[in-house]
Chains A and B, each alone.
Chain A
Amino acid sequence: MNIPGELYFTKEHEWVRIEGDTGIVGITDYAQHSLGDVTFVELPKIGADVKQFQSLATIESVKAASDIFSPVSGKVAEANKKIEDDPALVNRSCYSEGWIAKIKMCEPSEKNNLMDAAAYKKFVERLEH
């Protein structure tokens, strides 16, 4: 299971990469693997306000539809248009090309509500056993 060290994670298996006041958000390797082949992502609208741990986007696989929850609060600054045409990018490259949205963060302290890579690794290991 691939878990990059520099990211922060939610219990719902989203990640955020914090660059200044921007949070780049996606789903983890564990999430893409459990979902299976991603067939559709409903991206958030640019400028939309999102709250930490509330619905940001919808993701569909062959088997099911699920919500993607935002790891941070803020305003949606950008959404990854590439995954509209090629949703399988989320499977192939969940931590880089398959990112979902960029969020202009408004609460830097929210990071404390997230897991770092070591904590997330333990969290996933508990789920698997």
Chain B
Amino acid sequence: MDATETLKNTPLSAHHGSLSAKMAPFAGWNMPIQYEGIIAETLYTRQAVTCFDICHMGEFIVRGDLKKSGLDNIISGHIDNLGIGSCRYSSILNEGGGVIDDLIVYRKAQEEWMIVINAATIEKDKNHFLKHLSKNAHFEDVSCGLGKIDLQGPLSREILKTIAPGAQGLGYYTFTETDIMGEKNIVSRTGYTGELGFELYAPAEKIAAIWERLTSDKRVKPAGLGARDVLRLEMGYSLYGQDIDDDTSPLEAGLEKFLDLNKDFIGKKALLQQKRSGLRRHRIFFKTLSRRSPRHNHNIYISDKNTGIVTSGTFSPHLGYGIGMGFVSTPLDAGQAILIGDDTLKIEAATCKKPFIKNTSIKT
């Protein structure tokens, strides 16, 4: 059987086809990588507004008391002080402290939560939740029936006004259940681009109508996963499966600020042990001194010594040089000269701080 026959299509696949999008498999889905071009879509997101088909991502609903349900023990971050209508970036860990997935927790009511997870990890995450939630907790995987469109860019609020006026006042990392084209659905002020942006959730069968309405405004252009990857890397955001995975500790990955080490959670013991014994590797961010791009699995050298590995790399169209992140065996300050490459290629680079792009519209 042709590999593409086993791929799942989102409710928007016909739209991608009519736009002649370049499609590719991603996490078992046939997803649009680009329409007009990755660079044009990346630039347009920071300059105006784009929409992304993110229907592949997963969503769980959990109901129950935070502590008695076991949810607080599953989520590694501080969520008991999360207000109703707020959301927070967090992760779920295995006993070894490795990241099973990174996710966003939405508090829908005092005892009702929506958990938004990565597409490739839905089954694994579901098993983890079912294993650790208590018997009386309610758990539901709503991934199949729920679609999602990300609307991202400095003009996104202007555009949102026309289809979900009730959501235009949302503060950063908050959400509301509001009228989108005649039906109550969730809109959150979140995203993965570093720009002002919103994520619109709706039943799969309603998603196409929302997409059509959004793109009927000539200011809105569709953007693919290629641009999404550049945009997130320009902000220094991790991508699950590439920068973090089951063998990566959030301490190593520079994600300690998202942990709540004052409470108990699965994986905490291992993390405390890592703190005592010292970390095996350390997250760095770097830029190349040319237009050459670092690539996933390139080595990181100091002088001639191989000292680490690149987890994500790309060309930044905004900056005009290569950017990336990786792990090194000993911590490095910003400004350290390094080389990126392999046996035959060495790209001059220097460590730096994230985000690579500053002063975006994200909090405007």
A65 to B317: give the CA distance in the assembly, Å.
16
- Chain B residues closer than 8 Å to A87, beta-carbon distance: 291
- Chain B residues closer than 8 Å to A64, beta-carbon distance: 295
What residue of chain B has the Cβ atom nearest to residue A58's Cβ? B345
Q: Does B271 contact A (CB under 8 A)?
A: no
Choice from A36, A65, A91 contacting B226 with Cβ under 8 Å: A36
Size band of the B side of the interface? 10 to 19
What secondary structure prevails in chain B residues at the interface with A?
mixed
A42 to B33: give the CA distance in the assembly, Å.
25
What residue of chain B has the Cβ atom nearest to residue A40's Cβ? B291
Inter-chain contact B37/A37, CB cutoff 8 Å: yes
A62 to B318: give the CA distance in the assembly, Å.
12
Inter-chain contact B34/A36, CB cutoff 8 Å: yes
- Chain A residues closer than 8 Å to B39, beta-carbon distance: 37, 39, 62, 88
Inter-chain contact A63/B38, CB cutoff 8 Å: yes
Inter-chain contact B315/A40, CB cutoff 8 Å: yes
Residues of chain A having any CB pair with chain B under 8 Å: 36-37, 39-40, 42, 60, 62-65, 87-88, 91
- Chain A residues closer than 8 Å to B295, beta-carbon distance: 64-65
Looking at A37, A60, A62, A63, which has the most chain B CB atoms within 10 Å of its CB? A62
Q: Does B10 contact A (CB under 8 A)?
A: no
- Chain B residues closer than 8 Å to A63, beta-carbon distance: 33, 38, 226
Known contacts A60-B315, A62-B315, A64-B295; decide if A40 and B226 are in contact (CB<8 Å). no
Query: 25 A-B residue contacts at CB 8 Å?
Result: A36-B22, A36-B38, A36-B226, A37-B37, A37-B38, A37-B39, A37-B40, A40-B291, A40-B292, A40-B293, A42-B292, A60-B291, A60-B292, A60-B315, A62-B38, A62-B39, A62-B226, A62-B230, A62-B293, A63-B33, A63-B38, A65-B293, A65-B295, A88-B39, A91-B37
Inter-chain contact B314/A62, CB cutoff 8 Å: yes
A42 to B292: give the CA distance in the assembly, Å.
9
A37 to B43: give the CA distance in the assembly, Å.
13
**Smallest distance from the beta carbon of B32 to chain A beta carbons, Å?**
13
- Chain A residues closer than 8 Å to B290, beta-carbon distance: 40
**Smallest distance from the beta carbon of B299 to chain A beta carbons, Å?**
15
A65 to B315: give the CA distance in the assembly, Å.
11
A63 to B226: give the CA distance in the assembly, Å.
8
A62 to B316: give the CA distance in the assembly, Å.
8
Scan B222-244; emit 1 where CB is below 8 A from any A CB, else 0. 00001000100000000000000
- Chain A residues closer than 8 Å to B38, beta-carbon distance: 36-37, 62-63
Residues of chain B from 238 to 295 with CB closer than 8 A to chain A in the complex: 290-293, 295
Looking at A36, A42, A63, A87, which has the most chain B CB atoms within 10 Å of its CB? A63
Inter-chain contact A36/B293, CB cutoff 8 Å: no
- Chain B residues closer than 8 Å to A36, beta-carbon distance: 22, 34, 37-38, 226
**Smallest distance from the beta carbon of A46 to chain B beta carbons, Å?**
20
Scan B28-61; emit 1 where CB is below 8 A from any A CB, else 0. 0000011001111000000000000000000000
**Smallest distance from the beta carbon of A66 to chain B beta carbons, Å?**
11
Looking at B22, B291, B317, which has the most chain A CB atoms within 10 Å of its CB? B291
